[in-house]
Amino acid sequence: MGNIAGAGGPQEQIQRAITAHGVFKVRLSLIVEAGTADMTAAAAAADNLCPVGQWLYEGLGPSAKADPHYESVRALHATFHRAAGEVMALSLARKQGEALAAMETPSTFKQASDKLVAALVAWSESLG
Per-residue pLDDT of 81-127, as tens digits, reads 999 999 999 999 999 999 999 999 789 999 999 999 999 999 999 99
Asked whether residue 98 is assigned to any structural domain, the reply reads yes
How many domains, the chain?
A: 1
Asked whether residue 101 is assigned to any structural domain, the reply reads yes
Distance CA 1, CA 24 (A): 9
pTM of this prediction exceeds 0.75: yes
Close Cβ partners of 35 (under 8 Å, ≥ 6 residues apart): 91, 94, 96
Asked whether residue 86 is assigned to any structural domain, the reply reads yes
Asked whether residue 65 is assigned to any structural domain, the reply reads yes
Asked whether residue 28 is assigned to any structural domain, the reply reads yes
Per-residue pLDDT of 51-87, as tens digits, reads 999 999 999 999 999 999 999 999 999 999 999 999 9
Asked whether residue 4 is assigned to any structural domain, the reply reads no
Asked whether residue 80 is assigned to any structural domain, the reply reads yes
What is the reported pLDDT for 38? 84
Q: Which domain holds residue 39?
A: 10-126
Asked whether residue 70 is assigned to any structural domain, the reply reads yes
User: Cα dist. 32→1, 40, 64, 87, 108 in Å?
Assistant: 20, 11, 35, 8, 17
Close Cβ partners of 34 (under 8 Å, ≥ 6 residues apart): none
Residue 63, domain CATH: 1.20.120.30
